[in-house]
Structure formats: C-alpha cells, structure tokens
Amino acid sequence: MNSCFYKYLVIFSILVLIISADTITVQAEELTESSDTAEIIDRLYHEVGADELYYNIPEEARGFLSEIKFENFKPGSTDKVTIETIFEGIVYILKENILEPLRILICVIGIILITAMFDTLKSSSLSSSLDSTLSVISALCMVSILAPSMLVLIDTLSETIINASQFMLLYVPVITTLIITSGQPLSGSMFYGVMIYVSNAILQIESKIIIPLLKCIISMSIVTSVSTKVSLDGIINLFKKTIKWILTFCMSLFVAFMTMKSIVAVSEDSISNKAVKFAISNFVPLVGGALSDAYQTVISCVTVLKSGVGVAAMAAVFAIFLPAVAKCVIWQFVIAVSISVCDIFNIGKTSSLLNSLAAAVSTICAILLCTMVIYIISTAIIIIVGG
C-alpha cells in the first residue's frame, strides 16, 4: 500500500508541474534576468536580520570598529581594514584604559619608596620589633589601592563574557539561517545547537566556577601578604591550576567536537545538495535547467553573504574582548613595574603580594583569550569547512 501511495504522489506531483509549466518558465526567466548578485545579497542581508547585528555590539567595541573603518556586516565590510587602522584602533583602546592604571602605579611606587625609607630608618635607629608592623602596614596600604582595581577587573571579565555571549545568541540564528539557505541544513542545525549550548555553558562556568575562584585567589593573596604566620600559597597555586585545567579541557574538547561534527555534517550536506540540483535539472519539465541555474546562483550569493557575515562577526567578537584584554595587559605592565621596584629595595612581603595579583591578572587574561578563541574558531570552522 505504501508503494502505491508513493507512486500516486509522484504522478500527482508531475501533473502539477506540467500544468504549472508556463508559470514556472516565466518565474525562472524573471529570476535569471534579475539575478544581479549584489541585489540578491543586499536583499538577503536585510531579510535574515544581519543588518541589526552591528547595533547590538557594546559601545566601546563599536568605537574600536569605527576606528578601523568597520561599519556593517555586509560582504566587503573589512575591505577598508588594514594593519594601520588596526594599530590605530588598538592605540585608541589603550588610551581609553591607561590613565587609571598609571595613577595607581604612581601611588604604588610611592608606597614602596616610603616603605623602603622606613626600612632604612629601622635598620639604623628603630627597634627590629617594628619589622612585622612595617610589613603589615605596607601590605595594607598596597591592598587598599590595588584590591578595588582587581575586583573591577573581575567585573570587567564577567561583563565582557556576558556581552559576548549575548552577541553570539543574536548572531547564531542569523548565520544558521544563511548556512541552511546555502544548502547545508545539517551543518546549520549542528552549529546552532552547539553554539547555543556553548554560550550558555560559558556563562554558567564563568559565573559559578571561574569568578568565585578568582575572588578566592585575590582574598587569599591579601591574607598571605598581611599575616606573618599564615601562608596560603599552596591553595592559591591549586586554584590557579584548577582554572588552567578547566580552560585547557574546555578548549580541547570544543575544538575536537566542533571540527568532527562539521566535517561529517558538511559531507552529508554536499551529497544532499548535489541530489537536489540533479532532481531539479532532470525531473522538472521544460524549465529544469533554468531553475537549476537560478538555484545555483542563489546558493552562491548566500555563500558569499555567509562568509562576509562570519568574518564580520569574528571581527566583532575580537572588538568585544579587546578592551578587557587591553586592561589586563596594562595591569600586567603596572604590576611588573611595581615588582621590579620592590626587588630593587628588597621588600619581600609587598613583592609576594604583587606576584600573586600578577598571576590573578594573567589568569583573567587567559580566560578572556580562551573564550574569544572559542567563539572565533567556531565561526571559522563552519565557514572554512562548509565552503
């Protein structure tokens, strides 16, 4: 019974195609005549919602994109981007974020110099019993200046990852629509499912594991620097290693899984796409060849738009993470200079505190870079493997 049903269905479909052959011929001719690729790409660009992505980028990231002459998500939007404009954009971001760390650096160096002066006086005239008191006061002064900035840096980490995840949640449906429209339904559905899950997983891991561990590292670094009898360096190192293990495991698992799934999905989509073109060309009467050519033209336009939107999205993700990464780099420089000054005057406790904070800042920078790479690699894989 099933075989009879399918036979009747095929016969009915052929009859419908024959009856509407004139209409199909006219539509195919109109599509072929008006198939200006730029017009098709522009129409698709607005219909899939890609024109709204630029305005959902955070303001600071849009400032960087404006500096490098990047203004929309259309194909060719990166044509004006050069090494010079990227350098100018990075300089712009550094100028926006360098004043506060430099002010803190001056205060920190001042505390170090005052501590060194009192340490000299202690050696010459004051009692050596004031040694621990001097170390505690110096550490407390350093903590009062640096701790708020470190907490702000952690908040910046959290805000940046939230902004990036929100952007990806808007970008993924757009690029998924383009992937499916370009004749890759399996790749599109795979990419959508993986990226929605990854974006939510990153938010959960960051809020419930990474941020608490970072705050614990900074808190224990402060306790270790202030107390002369308690050392939490072992626990601090354990927390640092835990964060690094989490980052390494997540990145390795994601890249391997994404690459494997993309290769399999693209192979299956390629077979399906060839089957569709063969069916259109051979089973549609009269206008099969014209429809096949029109279908290939639309697929090519969608592929161009998909690549353009994907490259633009990678630039946008880079711009979202750049301000936070720039802050981490600046703070690493500030703390490195402070450590050098401490080593010159041989101030051990303060140097130990600064080393712990430097490790915390480098961990924050590593988290930012790993998250950014995950988002960029995901788009790169689906574009490169998908063609």
User: What percent of the chain stands above pLDDT 90?
Assistant: 5
Question: What does the pLDDT read at residue 34?
Answer: 44
Question: What does the pLDDT read at residue 233?
Answer: 73
pLDDT above 80 (res 264): no
Helix (H, G, I), strand (E, B) or coil at 346: coil
Residue 369 and residue 324: Cα distance in Å, rounded?
A: 10
Q: What is the DSSP string of 79-131?
A: TT--HHHHHHHHHHHHHHHSHHHHHHHHHHHHHHHHHHHHHHHHHHTS-GGGH
Please state which of the ranges 100-114, 119-133, 341-355 shows the lowest mean pLDDT.
119-133
Averaging pLDDT over each range in 16-30, 139-153, 260-274, which range is the top one?
Answer: 139-153
Nearest alpha-carbon partner for 73 in 93, 92, 91, 48: 48
User: What percent of the chain stands above pLDDT 70?
Assistant: 75
Residue 298 and residue 48: Cα distance in Å, rounded?
A: 14
pLDDT above 90 (res 330): yes
Residue 355 and residue 340: Cα distance in Å, rounded?
A: 11
Please state which of the ranges 30-34, 74-78, 357-361 shows the lowest mean pLDDT.
30-34
- Exposed/middle/buried for residue 183 (C-beta within 10 Å: 0-12, 13-18, 19+): buried
Amino acid at 162: I
Q: What is the pTM of this model?
A: 0.79
Question: What does the pLDDT read at residue 35?
Answer: 47
- The first and second tokens of residue 168, run together, are 């990806």
User: Quick one: which H or E segment has residue 158?
Assistant: helix 131-181
What is the mean pLDDT of the segment spanning 304-322? 86
What is the mean pLDDT of the segment spanning 243-272? 76
- List all residues 6 or more positions away from 154 whose beta carbon is below 8 Å from its beta carbon: 211, 214, 215, 218, 364
pLDDT-based confidence at residue 290 (cuts at 50, 70, 90): low
CB 197 within 8 A of CB 71: no
